[in-house]
Amino acid sequence: MTATLAGLAPGEVRRRMAAEGLALRMQPITVRVRSPIRAFAAQIHALYRDYEVLDPRDYADVDVRMLPVPGVRRFARPQVQFVVDGVTPFEGFPLDHALPMFEWGLNWVFVHRMHEYLVLHSSVVERDGRAVLLPAWPGSGKSTLAASLAVRGWRYLSDEFGVIATDSARVVPFVRPAALKNASIGVMRAFAPDSFIGPLFPGTRKGEVAHFSTPAENVRRGGESVDVAAIVFPDFQAGEAATAEPLASSATFLKLAGNAFNYETVGARAFAAVTAIVRRATSHILRYGDLDDAHRALDAIIAQGKEPRA
């Protein structure tokens, strides 16, 4: 039986993080995280409770240390540093913002290292073996929409990244907590009051942030890749009824390639993967102002299958 973080006592989580490190399987990678910060250890324990814990001696793709900044600043303005494999790529964050810094830092590491994949800026959900890419820029509502679908029976594959295996053009899950921001935090708490949303972090560089913990089943299925059946570009417009506008293949290709973090780096493999996805999937722009309306529109999109487009 797979050992998960929930099976470790809080004291053991703190001990490992302060010493040899806590090795977590976040498919498709393994992350070893170390930190002496007790509050951060408690937050990791709560947010990643369903993730597999590995032997700390096992190989880890990424070694992260969240360390208090030394010197006089630890008294006047306590800060934390994100250190990955001995390198400090960012300025310090306030000490009590260690969790959002860890999440954003890990995103940065993934984008800059995982070039065996094409990495899209996209949430991904799936139902009945059919994945839906939700590519969009900040403020479009993709994270809120993906989290809301996760609590209504859809499988959640990713909040921030659409990870595409370039040899098959299939989505590889990268199941991590969804970063909800500002008004979306209250929206999700009202929409899914029984779901777990972590502590609120006010005053970050992206405003207020809280993290939505995905259902445990989604974490357990983190090794199951899936074909893309639909590409839906979400566009939240407060008060608007949901409308799904079909998008031509040529426009879809340009928008999807433009949403990739590493398209130029991956090169010809990226071109081939995006081409394969666009050929097999329907694509729409979804404008919506209500989550239930958006769900109904996505139900219709996923049911219609591939249709010829210009």
Q: What is the pLDDT of residue 239?
A: 85
Q: What is the pLDDT of residue 172?
A: 97
Domain limits, the chain: 5-113, 117-304
Positive/negative CA dihedral, 294, 295, 298, 304: negative
User: What beta strand segments (E) does the chain contain?
Assistant: 22-26, 29-34, 52-54, 62-68, 79-84, 93-94, 117-127, 130-135, 155-158, 161-165, 170-172, 178-181, 201-204, 207-212, 228-236, 243-246, 282-288
Per-residue pLDDT of the chain (310 residues; tens, 9 = 90+): 579 999 999 999 999 999 999 999 999 999 999 999 999 999 999 999 999 999 988 999 999 999 999 875 666 689 999 999 999 999 999 999 999 999 999 999 999 999 999 999 999 999 999 999 999 876 678 899 999 999 999 999 999 999 999 999 999 999 999 999 999 999 999 999 999 999 999 999 889 999 999 999 999 999 999 999 999 999 988 888 999 999 999 999 999 999 999 999 999 999 999 999 999 999 999 999 999 999 999 999 988 864 433 3
Q: What is the pLDDT of residue 72?
A: 55
Task: Name the residue with tokens 């329907």.
Answer: 282
Helix axes 142-150, 183-191, angle to 10 degrees: 20
Q: Calculate the alpha carbon distances from 149 to 107, 111, 161 in Å.
A: 22, 25, 16
- Show the tokens assigned to 41: 């250890």
* DSSP characters over 111-153: HHH-TTEEEEEEEEEEETTEEEEEE--TTSSHHHHHHHHHTTT
Q: What is the pLDDT of residue 141?
A: 80
Q: Report the C-alpha dihedral over residues 122, 128, 129, 130, rounded to 10 degrees.
A: -40
Q: What is the pLDDT of residue 197?
A: 95
